[in-house]
Amino acid sequence: MEQRKVALITGSAKGLGKMTALTLAEQGCDIVLNYVRSEREAEELCRQIEAQGVRCIAVQGDAASFDDMKQLVETAVQAFGTIDILINNAGPFVRERRLFMEYRPDEIQYLMQGNLVGVMYLDQLVIPFMRRSKWGRIIHFGFGHAAESRGWPHRAVYAAAKVGLVSFTKSLAVEEAANGITVNMICPGDIKGANKEKTISEAQHLIDEESPRGRPGTGEDIARVISFLCEERSDFITGNIMDVSGGLDPIRATIGSGSVDRDRK
């Protein structure tokens, strides 16, 4: 009997991370959930996943903390013996629109740590286990059109971290290809609120006038792509930056509307 793959998903108690965890569990993976404050949601999701016949644990930890991520990996390996799939979903984001000069130094550091440096550190902790088995799947999260390295007014720090992660994704993909490890980035579109935990069928008949596709994006849209990239025979797809946005380009829309210097909410 083939041993189940072990998938670690950061920020997976709610939203896109939750949908990814459920989808990979359906594919037969044992799951390591991660949360910062959403303990109740993580424990409930853990029970839901275990009902599918796979194993699951939930571990508290902030993606911006080296110590937390080290403890996360140690706990996962102690429970399951290895980590085969790493989904770097977690990453701090400031919803308030601000000019770069309005950020405090500690906020800059936290955003860079959680969205770039912490991701690199977690990858470095997990890759030795993947090398040992000559198989691994690493997924990073970006934003729509991150690969184009365009400016994103009022999101300067977050955008800089994610664009740096684009380059890192491509570099790491080349370095680890011979070890059977693929590294890709998923760039979700503007998937809002409750839609992050909806299925495609639940959103199929909803109208989103901003979306070229005509309907809102869902968590299932993202999770389906991740699940495909984690399949055994998806080993020839690596170093890719994939937009899953229904054709929407929110950055260009913002710049084109003349709202760069105004309308900061």
pLDDT digits (tens, 9 = 90+) for 25-54: 999 999 999 999 999 999 999 999 999 999
134 vs 249, higher pLDDT:
134
Question: Tell me, what's the pLDDT at 145?
Answer: 87
Closest CA to 219 of 89, 59, 58: 89
How far, CA to CA in Å, does 41 sit from each of 35, 51, 53, 199, 219?
A: 9, 16, 19, 18, 16
State both tokens at 140.
Answer: 């990073």
Q: pLDDT tens for residues 65-115?
A: 999 999 999 999 999 999 999 999 999 999 899 999 999 999 999 999 999
In a domain, 58, yes or no: yes
**Alpha carbon 42 to chain centroid, angstroms:** 17
pLDDT at 253: 54
Distance from C-alpha of 86 to C-alpha of 254, rounded to nearest angstrom:
32
pLDDT at 246: 86
Confirm whether 98 is domain-assigned: yes
Sheet with strand 30-35: strands edge to edge: 56-60, 30-35, 6-9, 85-88, 136-141, 181-188, 241-244
> Is 265 a member of any domain?
no
Q: Are the beta carbons of 63 and 11 closer than 8 angstroms?
A: yes
193 to 33, 147, 203, 216, 252: CA distances (angstroms): 20, 25, 13, 11, 22
Is the pLDDT assigned to residue 255 strictly greater than 60?
A: no
The secondary structure element, H or E, covering residue 139 is strand 136-141
Which amino acid type is present at position 107? E
Between helix 219-229 and helix 15-26 the angle, nearest 10°, is 50
Residue 206's pLDDT is 82
Number of structural domains (the chain) is 1
Six-digit token pair at 10?
């950061």
pLDDT at 259 over 50: no
The Cα 135–Cα 231 span in angstroms is 11
Give the mean pLDDT of 125-146. Answer: 96
Domain assignment of residue 87, given as a range: 6-256
Model pLDDT, residue 79: 98
Q: What was the pLDDT predicted at 109? A: 97
Share of the chain above pLDDT 70, in %: 93
* Residue 263 lies inside a defined structural domain of this protein: no
CA 78 to the chain's CA centroid: 23
pLDDT at 261: 41
| pLDDT(254) > 60 | no
Q: Which two tokens stand for residue 180?
A: 């059977």
The token pair that represents 87 in the structure block: 């989904």
Residue 172 lies in a domain: yes
| Amino acid making up residue 3 | Q
CATH code assigned at 197:
3.40.50.720
Predicted confidence (pLDDT) per residue in 18-32, tens digit: 999 999 999 999 999
3-state secondary structure of 87: strand
Residue-level pLDDT at 121: 98
pLDDT category at 192 given cuts 50, 70, 90 is confident
CA distance 47 to 208: 33
Average pLDDT over residues 248-263: 53
pLDDT at 262 over 50: no
Name the average pLDDT for the chain: 92
Report residue 39 as tokens. 């303990």
> What is the distance between the alpha carbons of residues 92 and 11, in angstroms, rounded to a whole number?
10
**Hey, CA dihedral for 44, 186, 251, 93, is it positive or negative?**
positive
Tell whether the model's pLDDT for residue 161 goes beyond 80: yes
Is 261 domain-assigned? no
**Per-residue pLDDT at 257 exceeds 50:** no
In a domain, 262, yes or no: no
Task: Please provide residue 125's backbone torsions phi and psi, each rounded to the nearest 5 degrees.
Answer: -70, -35
Q: Is the pLDDT of residue 160 over 50?
A: yes
